[in-house]
Amino acid sequence: MTQSRPVYLKLRDQIAAAIIQGDYPEGAMLPSVRALAAEQGANPLTVAKAYQQFQNDGLVEVQRGVGMYVVKGAAEQLRTRERDQFLREEWPEIRSRMKRLGLSPADLIEAN
């Protein structure tokens, strides 16, 4: 499923996770397109496309000539979206697989 996703969406997911985890807190500047492209071994245009989605969604603010900053509330918005997407797209398959395998939530807790 994830392997067939375009690279810019995979990058977007990595950046979103970093914002949610606080690696890029509110007001923090994201790495430049070139820096992130070099770090990830990606094409700068691919990184720019991922960043553009954050800008379109109002999660980052661009200061021309300076950089791109995480806006206030971005982590919570992303967390809510990720939670909703998980419950809508991933959880039904996980729940179904648990049922097939005869696993209960208690089994999962005990496994840790």
- Cα–Cα distance for residue pair 81/68, rounded to 1 Å: 21
Tell me if residue 55 falls in helix, strand or coil: helix
Closest-CA residue to 95 (of 87, 53, 32, 64)? 87
Q: Is residue 76 part of a domain?
A: yes
pLDDT of residue 73: 97
Residue 1 forms part of a structural domain: no
Q: How do residues 26-53 score in pLDDT, each as one tens digit?
A: 999 999 999 999 999 999 999 999 999 9
Evaluate whether residue 39 is within a structural domain: yes
In a domain, 30, yes or no: yes
Name the residue with tokens 């900053």.
Answer: 69
Q: How far apart are CA 1 and CA 89, in angstroms?
A: 11
Give the range of the structural domain holding residue 28, as residue numbers without chain letter.
7-111
Indicate the number of domains in the chain. Answer: 1
CATH number of the domain enclosing 35 = 1.10.10.10
* Residue 40 domain-assigned (yes or no): yes
Task: Give dist(CA 65, CA 82) in Å, integer.
Answer: 31
Average pLDDT of the segment spanning 6-26: 94
Say if 2 falls within a structural domain.
Answer: no
Q: Has residue 75 been placed in a domain?
A: yes
pLDDT tens figures, 59-108: 999 998 899 999 999 999 999 999 999 999 999 999 999 999 999 999 98
Beta-bridge mates of residue 106: none
Task: Establish if 86 belongs to a structural domain.
Answer: yes
